Structure 1
Amino acid sequence: MMSMTSKLALAKRRSGLTSAELSHRSGVPLSTVNKILSGQTTHPAPQSLERLCQALDISMGYLLDDSIPDELFLSAQCEGNGLHYLSEQEWELIRDYGVLTVQGRQMVDALLEMLLALSPLPLPTGRRRLLLCLQPAAQGHRGALMDSFDFGVLDVPADPITERADFAVLLTDGSITPVYTPGTMLAVKRGEVATNQLGFFLLNRELFPRKLSRSAGRTKLVAINVSYKDIPVQPEDELTCMGAILGAVRDYIRLPKGSTPADFLYSQRLKL
C-alpha cells in the first residue's frame, strides 16, 4: 500500500499539474507543497491537505487510509451503501452508464446479469464452455439495430476458435457470403481488426459484418458479396469496431430462453 506522500505524488502526476500549478490551484504555498510532496513535512496541516485534495480531485479518506490501494483514487457516495472507492476505469463505466438511454441501461443491466452468471465458465464434463450470444432482432436503415439485440447463452465445444472468442453473433445477412452464410453463428474477439480481416462494425448504431478499408483518406466497409454495396464512412459518422470474426461456432447448444447459465450447469450435474 502507498503512503500519504506517495498517493499525493501519484495524484499530482495523474493531474498533469506542476508543483507551481498545484500551489496556485490549491492556494497552498509552493514551499509547503514541495515539503509535503518530498516527505519533509510528515504531519501537514489538515487545511493544507484538504485544499490539495480538492485541487487534485481526491478524497481525504483515500489520502490518509493506507489500506486503500492507490488505483482506487476516486470515491462515490452511494445512498444506503456508504462510501466506495473506484478506479478510473470503474468511474468511466459509471459515467458512460449515466448517459445511456433507458433502453440502453436495460440492455446493459441484462448483459451484466448474464455475464455475472457466466462466471463459472467450465462445464463439469468434457472440454466445453459457455459463450454469450448476440442475435439481431430488428433491421435499421441498412444494418441490424444495435439497440434491439437479443442476448442468449451458448454451450459450445472448447476449440481453438471458441477458446479465443469473447462472444458470438448470429449472422443475419448475406454481405459476407460465400465465406459465411446467413444463419451462421460467428465467434468474435473484441478489439480492432487486422488488414483484410472480417469483423463486426457499428456504424451510427447499426451493425455490419464487413472488412474495413482505408485508402487515400477514404474509409469504407467492404462487403464480400458483390450484390451488397460497400458503405462509405463519412467524417461525421460514428464508427466502432465490435471485434474480429474468428470463425463459425459449430455444434453449439442454445440455452433455453429465460434460463440462466447456473440452471444449465445444475442440469448437467444431474446427468452425471
Structure 2
Amino acid sequence: MADILHTLSNEMAAVVEQAAASIVRVEGRRRLAATGVIHTADGIIVTSNHVVERDENVRVGLADGSVVPAALVGRDPSTDIAVLRVNANGLTPANWDVNNQSKVGHLVLALGRPDSSVQATLGVISALGEGWRTPMGGYIDAYVQTDVTMYPGFSGGPLLNVGGYFVGLNSSALARGVSLTIPAETIARVAGTLLQHGHVKHGYLGVSAQPVRLPGNVAQSVGQETGLLLVAVEEGSPADKAGLAMGDTIVSLDGSAVRMMDDLMGLLTGDRVGKSVPVKIVRGGQIQESHVTIGERN
C-alpha cells in the first residue's frame, strides 16, 4: 500500500510541476492577487472576471518569475470569465480537457498562483450535470462541482485531472458555499467571443417577473401550465416600448414557450439583440400577441 501511495503522490506532484508553466499570477485588485491560465502561446490569458477589479494597471506574474503588464481584452460577468493579453511569445498554453473525460469520484487538483510559486489542493469531483445558467443569465455548458478547498487567490486557477488535463477554471463567485468549475467548453466559447468583440452580448427586456400558474382554459390553449407574470416593467425599456405592462403574463417569446425565468433568460441570446420577435402574453384572461425588439443588457 505504501508503494502505491508513494507512486501516486509522485505522479500527482509531476502533474502539478508540468501544469505550473501554464499558470500565472493575476494582480488586478487591491487585496491578494489571484490566478490565471495561459490560453495561447502568444500571450492570451483567461481568468475569473471577479478578480480583475480594474480595467487598467493589471499585471501578470509569469512562471519564470517575471512580472509584465496586461491589457484587459474583455470580460463577461455572467460567466465570471475575463481575458487578458500580455506582450509575450513562446508561452506554454493549457492542455484543456476538450473531450470532457470527468466522472464523479475522479481525483482532481485545484491549482493557484496567488504568490510566486504554484499551490495545490486535492479533492474529488462530487457532482456533474447538464448546462445551467448563472444568476446573471450566463450559460455554463456543464455543471462541475468538487470538494476542493478554494484557498484565497485560487479563483481563476485551473482544475486538473490526474492526467494533467485542464478541466476548467475554478470560481468562487458563481455560487456561495460550493466549489464550481467553469468547463473548458465554456471557456473556449466565451474567450473566443471576447477576443472577437470585446464583450458578450446579452439580450434585455427590462422586466421583473415570477412564474405563475395559468388559468385552465388558457393552459389548455397554449399547451403549458405556467407562464411569467410581469411584476415590474422598466420605463423606456424594450418591454415598455412594446406595450407590455405589469400584470401581463408572458407565455412565449419568438415561438418558444416561456414557463419560468430560466426559459426567458435562455431566449435573450446575443443573436436576438436588435431583432423584433413575437411575444405572446395573457392579459385579462385573453391571449394576445405583440412584437418586441430585444435590447442589449449593459
Higher helix share: 1
Higher strand share: 2
TM-score (norm 2): 0.26
Instruction: Decide which structure has the larger Cα Rg and report it.
Output: 1
